[in-house]
Amino acid sequence: MTDKYQADPIIDAFLDDLWSTKGLSDNTLASYRTDLRHFERFVLTKKRQLINVDQLLIRDYLAFRVEQNFAKSSTARLLSSLRRLYGYLLVNEHIAVDPTALVESPQLVRQLPDALSEAQINSLLDEPNVDDPLECRDKAMLELLYATGLRVTELVSLTLEQISLRQGLVRIVGKGGKERLVPLGELAVTEVEQYLVAARAELLGNKQSDVLFPSKRGQMMTRQTFWHRIKLYALRAGIHCHLSPHTLRHAFATHLLNHGADLRVVQLLLGHSDLSTTQIYTHVAKARLQQLHSEHHPRG
């Protein structure tokens, strides 16, 4: 089965529909494809097909994942993929009953993102040597990332036309094709200006590109490459705590809240469609809120 396996065309039809109607990113679609193919392989071992799956078979697969020690977060994402697939099949009348309707998602412990302190962020941002074209680019990227809270994928795919240094704004098309305008701040504007004048042309050589931050080969940088660059500067700055590709995005949100920013403003800047997604950051503002309460409340 593994050597001759060919995915059911329903999977590609479903993903094409998601791409055209929801505007999901390539990374998200690839995750859906992987999840659904893994599930289909399990279904085929039971002599069934995707179109005639029932609730019991889905529960069997979830139990199998528990036995195989899959992470709860991964299983929750898998179940989300299945819900969307069978919702699509139901709407298009390929099935009469949604087999996922009564299947409960695994209970997740919400993971709080790690956030660097402001002192650590300053050390990280000061680390690149702006006399080196590559590090001058990295300095501008780090400053822009911390100033805007962009996702790393959004950062590396930025084009020249998306940024206005005169207005101090960057225009982002995020998840689901939703557009947002995010202010840059003076330091980020200064660093991007310096990079454009001193380093970008040297990185491109004779190549033409509309990518704002090209790689040393003159192409769009991958998010993995930039993640390795972040780890390099963190190591040089003596920062040894756990980091993730969204480290500066987390710091952006938590530091804004620490300084009294409104949660809904942070939600808009991050491009979260649901306020509950942003609320994960409010734990970092707890100490500040308690301090404000004691200082200003008449019975504090």
Active site residue 286: no
Residue identified by tokens 């756990």 is: 242
For 66, 157, 243, 245, 294, the CA distances from 248, given in Å and listed in that order, are 33, 17, 9, 8, 30
Active site residue 272: yes
Distance CA 184, CA 163 (A): 9
Q: Residue 213 in contact with residue 221, Cβ under 8 Å?
A: yes
Residue identified by tokens 């002192």 is: 119
Please state whether 11 falls in left (phi above 0), alpha (psi between -120 and 50) or beta.
alpha
Active site residue 249: yes
Facing residues of 225 across strands? none
Q: Catalytic residue, from 137, 139, 229, 246: name it.
A: 246
Q: Catalytic residue, from 32, 88, 146, 281: name it.
A: 281
Tokens representing residue 176 in the block: 């689901």
Please state whether 247 falls in left (phi above 0), alpha (psi between -120 and 50) or beta.
alpha
Q: Catalytic residue, from 139, 151, 229, 255: name it.
A: 151
Distance CA 268, CA 287 (A): 23
Phi/psi at 131 (5° precision): -75, -15
Coil, helix or strand for 180?
strand
Q: Which amino acid is at 148?
A: T
Active site residue 88: no
Coil, helix or strand for 220?
strand
Q: Catalytic residue, from 175, 236, 286, 299: name it.
A: 175
Tokens representing residue 121 in the block: 């962020």
Residue 69 is given by DSSP the state: T
Q: Which amino acid is at 20?
A: S
Active site residue 175: yes
Active site residue 146: no
Instruction: Give me the active site residues, please.
Output: 151, 175, 246, 249, 272, 281
